[in-house]
Amino acid sequence: MSKVILLHKRPVGKPTAQDFEFIDEETPKAAEGQVLLKTLYVSVDPYLRGRMRDVESYVEPFALNEPIQSFIIAEIVESKHPGFTVGEFVTGHLDWKELQVSGGEGLSKVDEKAADLSAYLGVLGMTGLTAYVGLTEIGRPKAGETLLVSGAAGAVGSVVGQVGKLLGCTVIGIAGTDDKIASLKSTFGFDEGINYKTTPDMASAIGKAAPQGVDIYFDNVGGDISDAAFEHINKFGRVPLCGTIATYNDTDTNTGPRLQWRMIQKRILMQGFLLNDFPEKFEAASTQLTQWVKEGKLIYSETIVHGFDQIPQAFIDLFDGKNEGKMIVKI
């Protein structure tokens, strides 16, 4: 038998364990042209919350009583597909199942000798590429500029900050615990860190941390923190919008200061993006990130939770900021 996790109910507000359902299904068998995949690592990501709503978003909603999907690292345990051999490792957008079959579409092989397998879900996977492409294509950092990153201790944010440093920026990170702030500076080389949970006046704290103002605000969170950041964005500032985790669980309309007038005064560019908007950039980005990882210039952190049964809780814990770096479940 093989365990499967279904979306049982659409979450209202913060997801709870009751929104998920575990079932057992017969162990699947690879038909001709298929492989059987054993799940090794599962990525849980804030964006999945959006797919749990029954509204139009950038990807179609998950269906009720169907398996949830995310990026997964799996091992080929049976192959009737000429392109794959038993013992190889692959990554792809797969179901939350212990075992599943695939015709090979959308699977990419990963090299377990070049990096730890889990890195392909993080710094060398979607989150690392998202950080690199969003920062370089929309943020367009120049040496000497000031980069502010929210969600800085998260999987995307920690890469954004380090890439900013590698490109010559002064980097300020916002995160929600003193431990995270300490590691932003000691592990990831950020210049300044601000704990938003213990800072009563974020706008003045940002002003103090960025005396020259903010040229790039890489926004992973939205909400009040972004309102405060906007008060310090310089002329011709750029704001790549990567996520709004602060508002994903909101059930009513979310309001804040309107930004248009300030954006005209300062000629600010704000742009929402998804990694998939930049397919032509993946190869170069991946090559650069892999090189920096090998050279030890790009550090990544992971919060690894163990056990298939822990997948829903690991996902829920994202919204309480319990992860540091990429949240991954190891099976």
Strand ranges inside 26-141, DSSP E: 35-43, 69-79, 89-95, 99-102, 108-109
User: Per-residue x/- mask for a second copy, residues 13 to 52, rule CB under 8 A?
Assistant: -------------------------------------x--
Candidates 164, 173, 223, 325; binder of a second copy (CB under 8 A) is 223
Candidates 277, 310, 313, 317; binder of a second copy (CB under 8 A) is 277
Backbone angles phi, psi at 326, to 5 degrees: -70, 130
For residue 138, the minimal CB distance to a second copy (Å) is: 9
The number of residues in the chain equals: 331
**Residue in 202, 173, 209 with CA at minimum distance from that of residue 189:** 173
Candidates 211, 258, 279, 320; binder of a second copy (CB under 8 A) is 258
Give yes or no for residue 241 binding a second copy (CB under 8 A): yes
**Residue in 331, 328, 274 with CA at minimum distance from that of residue 119:** 328
Of 156-164, 186-194, 236-244, 308-316: span binding a second copy (CB under 8 A):
236-244
Give yes or no for residue 251 binding a second copy (CB under 8 A): no
- Name the residue nearer to a second copy (CB basis): 251 or 265: 265
Of 80-88, 116-124, 243-251, 297-305: span binding a second copy (CB under 8 A):
243-251
- Residue 62: DSSP 8-state: P
**Residue in 224, 24, 22, 44 with CA at minimum distance from that of residue 122:** 44
Give yes or no for residue 207 binding a second copy (CB under 8 A): no
Strands 20-25 and 233-241: unpaired
Distance CA 252, CA 290 (A): 42
Distance CA 136, CA 292 (A): 15
Of 2-10, 180-188, 254-262, 280-288: span binding a second copy (CB under 8 A):
254-262
Of 70-78, 195-203, 246-254, 322-330: span binding a second copy (CB under 8 A):
246-254
β-bridge mates for residue 43, sequence order: 328
- Backbone Cα Rg of the chain: 20
Which positions touch a second copy (CB under 8 A)? 50, 56-58, 219, 222-223, 226, 236, 241-244, 247-248, 253-274, 277
